[in-house]
Amino acid sequence: MKIAVTGATGTIGKMLVQELWGSDHERYQLLLFSRNLDQAKKIYHNLGISAGAIGIQDEHLQFEKWIPGDHYHLFHALNRFSPDVVIHLMGENIAEGSWKTAKKQAILRSRVDSGIELYRAIKSLTKRPSLFVQASAIGIYANGTACDICEENERECRSNSSNGNGATGSGSGPSFLAYVVRSWEEATAELERLGVKRVIARFAPVLSMDGGFLVKLVPYFKWCLGVVLGPEKGGLSWIHHQDAVSALIYLIEHKELPGGIYNFTSPKPTTNAYFFQTLAKRLHRPLWPFTFNFCLKLLMGQKGRELIMTDKRVIPQKLLDLGFIFKYPTIEQAIVDLIKRKEKSV
């Protein structure tokens, strides 16, 4: 199976490629897109994944440079490789840096422009892929909804919610993230009209010790500075990286499954308080009984409100209905496993 991946050097991309490569690298031929080829090759070389090094033929692992805007290059690379599946993960990192105007533009444009360009390139291919998987985020859902949010009941949940404010950042005006996610998803919508099955993977924060917010939090807890971030009773949706990657491969491998929106979250969302209590307990560190939410809102502004002050319980109903089994459904299982992995790696 030929799989092209954009954003392949990111947290999810690296884990996905490692899993595909490790499970059966004779089965998959991979084309990895990056804006910086040397850096991408180095990243994969350091992970022990490089075509020549272990005698695997080059056709199983190829790298291509693609900077959005270079439509010509993208089209030719895809035409030459002729992928069965395209997985689109690229996008300016949302959590790094402050949300000044230029950063917000980059967050939006890197996703929307690349999506439109991929659509155009795929439209022009002689042989189109049968599946297009596009990363998305649960940032599209409203905070504080009255019920658990599934793929099908989002609208209903929102209208029954106490604040009824739609996808807003804690009642603080229209959410930038919801706008980004909506535009991001719309950018590739036309692929469906071309007969390409499109899966939208709405990721919750992915728990991993190789990247993402857990990596940033753990040192504070180790220095005994752990506190609850976000509203204590607020719902926290998350997914273990192994489940995120396994679910992606499940959808790639089961061609008969329907396209559309999939929530990539654990089936058991927790609360902010319980998440931080579990983290402190498993790291054998204290959790101080106060919060810095007011300061965070003040210091981080919109970014703090939209990324940290969240309250949403999102359920991966479609994956569950289709029989996908989560290896780490509870936050205890996920945190215990991630800490073990970290200890093994040092």
For residues 198 and 273, the answer to whether their CB atoms sit within 8 Å is no
Q: How far is the CB of 162 from ligand NAP (least distance, A)?
A: 25
Instruction: Give the span between the Cα atoms of 125 and 129, in whole angstroms.
Output: 9
Residues that bind ligand NAP (CB under 6 A): 7, 9-13, 34-36, 40, 68, 89-94, 106, 110, 135, 137, 203, 205-206, 211-212
Question: E-assigned strands of 138-246?
Answer: 197-203, 206-207, 227-228, 235-236, 239-240
Q: CA distances (Å), 319 to each of 56, 73, 139, in order?
A: 34, 35, 19
Q: Judged by CB, which is closer to ligand NAP: 107, or 288?
A: 107
Q: Judged by CB, which is closer to ligand NAP: 7, or 169?
A: 7
Q: Judged by CB, which is closer to ligand NAP: 195, or 342?
A: 342
Query: For residue 135, which amino acid is it?
Result: A
DSSP bridge partners of 236 = 270
What angle (nearest 5°) sits at the alpha carbon of residue 179, between those of residues 6 and 107? 40
Q: How far is the CB of 187 from ligand NAP (least distance, A)?
A: 12
DSSP calls for 124-144: H-SS--SEEEEEEEGGGSPSS
Q: How far is the CB of 209 from ligand NAP (least distance, A)?
A: 13
Contacts for 325 with CB less than 8 Å, ≥ 6 apart: none
Which residue is nearest to ligand NAP, using beta carbons? 10
Q: Judged by CB, which is closer to ligand NAP: 211, or 259?
A: 211
Q: How far is the CB of 113 from ligand NAP (least distance, A)?
A: 8
Q: Judged by CB, which is closer to ligand NAP: 128, or 241?
A: 241
Instruction: Give the span between the Cα atoms of 37 and 35, in whole angstroms.
Output: 6
Q: How far is the CB of 13 from ligand NAP (least distance, A)?
A: 5
Q: How far is the CB of 91 from ligand NAP (least distance, A)?
A: 3
Q: Judged by CB, which is closer to ligand NAP: 93, or 161?
A: 93
Find the length of the chain: 346
